[in-house]
Structure 1
Amino acid sequence: MADWIKTARGWVLRELENTEYRATQEKINARSQAVSYDREVSIGRNVKATGTKGQRKLSVCVSEFIEYMALLENVTDIRTQAYLNDFMMLLMTKGIGKASGCAHRQLFKILEAMVIEAMNSETNIIPMKNLLVCTMKSMVDESTGRIGSKSLWNRHIQTVANLSTKMEQFVLTERVEDGLPTLTDLPKECIREIMLKLSDHRDIINLGKTCSELYYVTQDSSIWQKLVQYHFSEKQMSMFIEDTEYIDSTVSVWQHLHHKCSKKFGLKKTYTDQLVICSACKTLHWMMQGHTCWSAKKDETSVYLEPVGPNELFSILFSSYELIGKSSKTVHL
């Protein structure tokens, strides 16, 4: 008598079910053991990045990328906030009109979470205000094509308006006299070492505006010297060396060089944590969070992590849209 068993697909013969199960397991094992180095698919929740810099492609769409890279979960991680701010600025200003409805829902959840985190932690207030202003400006601009109905976009605009109102009404909590040490209680040598870790000159300038004691520390030329040498090469600095002979005596030579070079060349962006590509398995992951490398070449000494900046990441995600736009223009011509 035939031996029947009940499965999720209905009643099947036990012998047939075992045969199908073994065949499925063999396929899964073969897939995990013989992974091609250049496969253009995602493995589990990993995102595969194929090709070389400037010609890369991802194995997932925008909404899947947002989910797999856990952008919403990383909003509360202080290490990823600067990277997420810059990436969200690109998505909400240049990519919002090209993203799908599913991606829209995810992006506005992330935007709301970023606002809540900024108010709860009382950090990144100014960057968040700038992000909301730029987002609103891009959304009311009807010169570009949009995905979705007008009523949907009106709801999105109202969401951004509500978040902007919350940020404008937010007031930082003043510190009460609790007897605990403050920054100015530290020795000047310690304060100087803290300032040497800052890569943005605006942080140093704003710190100097808080009190006269910190202002004098920010005028230390060695701080500005290290800042200039970090952001610019000797060749870039040499273009403005001659101008330092005629600068105002109240401004140090290094401050003058920083002002001139940053205006000409821009600043080098630095992130505590950012997305990187493993050279062995070609998957994207957060640098400080690590990943499980599934490549057979993971033991080679030549394996390295290649950083992917927000601009490059955005161009990879939306390169297909740009190609479609170019092809459509060619047809009309």
Structure 2
Amino acid sequence: MPFLGQDWRSPGWSWMKTEDGWKRCEFYCDDFERNNNFNLQLLNLDDRETYTPEDCVLSAQKREKEQFNTARSQYYYREKWIFVQKESTKERHGYCTLGEAFNRLDFSSAIQDIRRFNYVVKLLQLVAKSQLTSLSGAAQRNYFNILETIVGKVLEDQYNPRLIRELLHDLSSTLCILIREVGKSVLIGNINTWICRLETILSWQQQLMNLEMNPQLGDGLTLCDLPMHMQSNILYRFSDAWDIINLGQTTPTLHVLSEDRHLWKELCKYHFSEKLFCKHLILTENGHVDWKLMFFTLQKYYPEREQYGDTLHFCRHCSVLFWQDCQLALLFKDSGHPCTANDPGSCLMPVSPQHFIDLFRF
């Protein structure tokens, strides 16, 4: 049955009001795949009168947005925040899901910021372990697109490949389990698509295993040229135990510094509370505390302290989750979202990756 109503214009077309009445817009695209530029013409269906592209700017923007939404990249939203709705109300029906948050928040741009890179990778790792099936189909596609960008960035910049190897290992293990249980409808989409994704992940793992770190040699000073006390001071700034161990394998001097008992003692105090030391006290043959062995023992039972350069923030007043731009916040006093509080800074709370997952557990 044809659509009949007060508005006789078909909702599937774009229309423009002229002096002679409403005219339908038709778009023509030349060489879209090469330069992604639109050559638009507005045709009068009665007398074939041609209009200039300036007469249908709004229609061109709408067409461009539709083309962008069907692309492989993450969906585009002007706002980089999302309202976390945990219950259905009269003003807003439905719930805010993890997949919706994954589509709305700008993770594609966040991984280009070195301060947010580790945060996004850790978040993807938590999703891969337990929340992959809770994502919608569009969110799963965005997930793998972001992961592809991360792997390409690591292969190009050689930045923190160990962290990406752990992410891919957890993701491949999860997919192997889910593919076996495909009869229970735990995956969205065709099984062949997921098998292809798993093969791609295995290929990425192989590329990262074959990755060779190319040192950038120059005429300036290197780490080994610094005095020993400065090298030791640099090691004390590390919060990752494996970074200390890997750096200690480069030179004999750094190896001696990486085995310092006081260094591992400070690392234990940073990640764990002192009341846990008595429960897992490990002594050497000389009666001294083996702080290095204690650290890896405590690591098995208790979570480490997480440290990130920048994280997502949650406004307790507005219940909004968003990325905060520190430069805009200082220059224009912009909180990063339309906050109605008198003092927006007092309502902000940094969100850890695990807290982000917990926000969408109902």
Same fold (TM over 0.5): yes
2:343 is aligned, of 283, 290, 299, to: 299
CA contact (8 A) 1:280 1:293 kept: no
**Correspondent of 2:201 among 160, 171, 184:** 160
SS of the residue corresponding to residue 198 of structure 1 reads coil
Q: Which runs of 5+ in 1 are unaligned?
A: 1-6, 13-41, 52-57, 321-333
In the other structure, the counterpart of 1:173 is: 214
Q: 1:231 to 1:133 in 2, by over 3 A?
A: closer
Q: Give how far 1:63 is off.
A: 4.3
Q: Secondary structure at the match of 2:198?
A: helix
Corresponding residue of 1:276: 313
In the alignment, the residues of structure 2 paired with residue 60 and residue 249 of structure 1 have an alpha-carbon distance, to the nearest angstrom, of 58
Shift of 1:213: 0.6
Where does 1:147-296 land on structure 2 (aligned, <5 Å)?
A: 147-176=188-217, 178-241=218-281, 243-244=282-283, 247-249=284-286, 253-287=290-324, 289=326, 291-296=335-340
> Equivalents in 2 of 1:147, 1:219: separation in Å?
49
Alignment match of 1:79 (pick from 115, 126, 131): 115
> Going by fraction, where is helix more abundant, 1 or 2?
1
CA drift of 1:201 comes to 1.6
TM-superposed CA distance for 1:119, in Å, is 1.0
Cα displacement (A) at 1:129: 2.2
Identity of aligned residues (%): 22
Q: Which has the higher contact order (CA 8 A, sep 6+)?
A: 1
Whole-angstrom CA distance in 2 between matches of 1:218 and 1:165: 30
**Alpha carbons 2:80, 2:104 under 8 Å: kept:** yes
Q: How does 1:17-96 map to 2 (within 5 A)?
A: 44-49=79-84, 60-96=96-132
d(CA) in 2 for partners of 1:161, 1:201 = 27
Structure 2 vs 1, CA of residues 308 and 64 (structure 1 numbering), >3 Å: closer, same or farther?
Answer: same
Count of aligned pairs between the two proteins: 276
Deviation at 1:110, TM superposition (A): 0.5
Alpha-carbon contact 2:129-2:174 (below 8 Å) kept: yes
User: Quick check: 141-150 or 282-291, which moved more?
Assistant: 282-291
- Whether contact under 8 Å (1:118, 1:125) holds in the other structure is yes
Distance 1:151 1:197, change over 3 A: same
Match of 1:311 in 2: 354
Q: Are residues 99 and 240 of structure 1, via their aligned partners in 2, closer, same or farther at CA, if it must alter by over 3 Å?
A: closer
User: Would you say the 8 A contact 1:275–1:284 is kept in 2?
Assistant: yes
Q: Name the aligned partner's letter for residue 204 of structure 2.
A: L
Secondary structure of the corresponding residue to residue 341 of structure 2 = coil
Q: Is residue 99–residue 147 contact of structure 1 (8 Å, CA) maintained in 2?
A: no
Q: In 2, Cα distance between the equivalents of 1:285 and 1:108?
A: 22
- Going from structure 1 to structure 2, the CA distance change for 1:259 and 1:97 (only over 3 Å counts) comes to closer
State the partner residue of 1:37.
Answer: none
Unaligned runs of 5+ in 2: 1-13, 20-76, 87-93, 330-334
Residue 47 of structure 2 corresponds to: none
Give the structure-2-normalised TM-score.
0.66
CA distance 1:279–1:208, shift in 2 (3 Å)? same
Coordinate RMSD, CA, aligned: 3.3
> Is the contact made by 2:80 and 2:322 (CA closer than 8 Å) also made in structure 1?
no
Q: Partners of 1:75 and 1:168 in 2: how far apart?
A: 22
Structure 1 residue 95, shift from structure 2 partner: 2.6
Change (3 A) 1:220 1:288: farther
SS, match of residue 228 in structure 1: helix
1:296, 1:159 → 2: CA distance? Answer: 46
Using the alignment, how far apart are the partners of 2:288 and 2:105 within structure 1?
45
Deviation at residue 109 of structure 1 after TM alignment: 0.8
What is the CA-CA distance between 1:250 and the residue it aligns to?
11
1:213-262, Cα deviation, whole Å (9 max, x unpaired): 11122233332232122112221123245x43xx1459854334424433
Q: For residue 267 of structure 1, give the secondary structure of its aligned residue in structure 2.
A: coil
Cα pair 1:80 1:272 within 8 Å, conserved: yes
Using the alignment, how far apart are the partners of 1:95 and 1:226 within structure 2?
34
Distance 2:80 2:121 in 1: 23
- Which residue of 135, 138, 148 maps to 2:171? 135
Q: Distance in 2 between matches of 1:252 and 1:267?
A: 20
| Counterpart residue identity of residue 127, structure 1 | L
Mapped contact 1:122–1:172 kept (Cα < 8 A):
yes
- Structure 1 residues 251 and 217, CA gap change in structure 2 (3 angstroms): farther
Q: In 1, distance between residues paired with 2:336 and 2:223?
A: 41
CA 1:169/1:228 → structure 2, altered by over 3 Å: closer, same or farther? closer
The separation in 1 between residues aligned to 2:204 and 2:311, in whole angstroms, is 26
